[in-house]
Copies of this chain bind each other. A is one copy, B any other.
Amino acid sequence: MSESDADFQAGSAGPVGVVKRAKRVAVLSPVAWRTPPRHYGAWETVASNLAEGLVARGWHVTLFATKDSITRARLHAVIDKGYEEDPAADPKVAEYLHIAEAFEHAGEFDLIHSHYDFMALSYSRLVRTPVLTTIHGFSSAKIMPIYEKYRDGYYVSISDADRAPALNYLATVYNGIDLSLYPFRERAGEHLIFLGRIHPDKGVHLAIEVARRSGRRLIIAGIVQDEAYFHERIEPHVNGGTVDYLGPVGVPGKNQLFAQASALLHLNTIPERFGLVLAEANAAGVPVIAMDLGSCREVIEDGKTGFLVRGPEQAVQALGRLAEIDRSACRRRVEQRFSIATMVSAYERVYATIFELEEAKRR
């Protein structure tokens, strides 16, 4: 635990004091997956880490998530399981039921903290409870009209890069990772690794190109999100030797990969909103070679915890400079900036701001 985090332990005084923590917070997680998710489910992961972190610091937290979710907060659930894991579910019905349930209980909370994209906003003006929305990503330009209407709400961005100009942002709060899950490894492995959704946005094909050009072995792991892309651009290169594909992996699988890795390749082709996997790799001491697009430069410090590149050629060059990276510096940066403790502290400050603004409104 870092020094600044000590301020935020339950019962302690500090910028967010005991009084503030008596407030009741609803954390609205998505219901695509369980909270926390078994494998994939980045938004549910953040909601889970936050809810557990707040509970540990003495907040009264109600988690709105699927019924099979696991939490030390009070669980309020109307949806059996994640609609992605339940063939009997209709995603639209699940979303409407789930979100409405939270807002129907708004009177029981001092704050609703929504991780539910634009949908929850449409209920926000029907309740008196303030609503904070963490925007985990703008899925398309077509969703902007709903943010424009509700631009006066309270927003948090997950990186400085992933902001829409007109919204009322209170802060950028980086997603925190559970550092205990990713033990630091002093010794580098030999291979290149790719971890993430198999989708053109993630540049898996560029990682393969870098492996071929550099003559290194690449191990790929992740959920296939774009079947055509996988079959046409990835699978033909998978040969059990220079390029391997493992399928989706959980935390143990990730750690096995980190142990084998000289570097993680993340040659995203569109701006990255917030690359959680970059921080995870760094936590394990693995340098990251990332495309300089979107938030990558907020996560990776060029030349210190990896390299920011503009394409496969620069990525190949960067591989020649891996020895310059101090693996323990990678770990330290994650501890300081991308830990759950850091994230929870940052959200506590955002909540405090909201409570002050709301009190000022009432006066």
Please give the number of chain A residues whose Cβ is less than 8 angstroms from any Cβ of chain B in the complex.
26
- Whether B104 lies near A143 (C-beta < 8 A) is no
A93 lies within 8 A of chain B by Cβ: yes
Interface string of A52-83 (1 = CB under 8 A from B): 00000000000000000000000000100000
A323 lies within 8 A of chain B by Cβ: no
Interchain CA distance A123-B120 in the complex, whole Å:
11
Closest to A79 in B: B145
A103 lies within 8 A of chain B by Cβ: yes
- Whether B143 lies near A126 (C-beta < 8 A) is no
Q: How far is the CB of A96 from chain B (nearest CB, A)?
A: 4
Query: Across the interface, which residues of B come within 8 angstroms of A156, CB to CB?
Result: none
- Whether A118 lies near B96 (C-beta < 8 A) is yes
Q: How far is the CB of A16 from chain B (nearest CB, A)?
A: 30
Interface string of A173-209 (1 = CB under 8 A from B): 0000000000000000000000000000000000000
Q: How far is the CB of A331 from chain B (nearest CB, A)?
A: 41
- Whether A90 lies near B125 (C-beta < 8 A) is no
Interchain CA distance A88-B140 in the complex, whole Å:
11
- Whether A97 lies near B126 (C-beta < 8 A) is no
Closest to A98 in B: B122
A22 lies within 8 A of chain B by Cβ: no
Closest to A144 in B: B93
Known contacts A96-B119, A149-B97, A126 near B103 by CB under 8 Å = yes
Interchain CA distance A78-B97 in the complex, whole Å:
24
- Whether A96 lies near B142 (C-beta < 8 A) is no
A99 lies within 8 A of chain B by Cβ: yes
Name the one of B104, B125, B127 contacting A100, with C-beta atoms under 8 angstroms. B125
Name the one of B78, B89, B93, B127 contacting A126, with C-beta atoms under 8 angstroms. B127
Closest to A97 in B: B146
Q: How far is the CB of A126 from chain B (nearest CB, A)?
A: 4
Query: Across the interface, which residues of B come within 8 angstroms of A127, CB to CB?
Result: 126
- Whether A143 lies near B99 (C-beta < 8 A) is no
Query: Across the interface, which residues of B come within 8 angstroms of A104, CB to CB?
Result: 125-126
Ordered by A's residue number, 23 sampled pairs between the chains whose C-beta atoms are within 8 Å are A88-B142, A89-B142, A90-B140, A90-B142, A90-B143, A92-B92, A92-B119, A93-B118, A93-B142, A93-B145, A93-B146, A96-B118, A96-B119, A97-B122, A97-B145, A97-B146, A97-B149, A99-B122, A100-B122, A100-B126, A104-B126, A123-B123, A123-B126
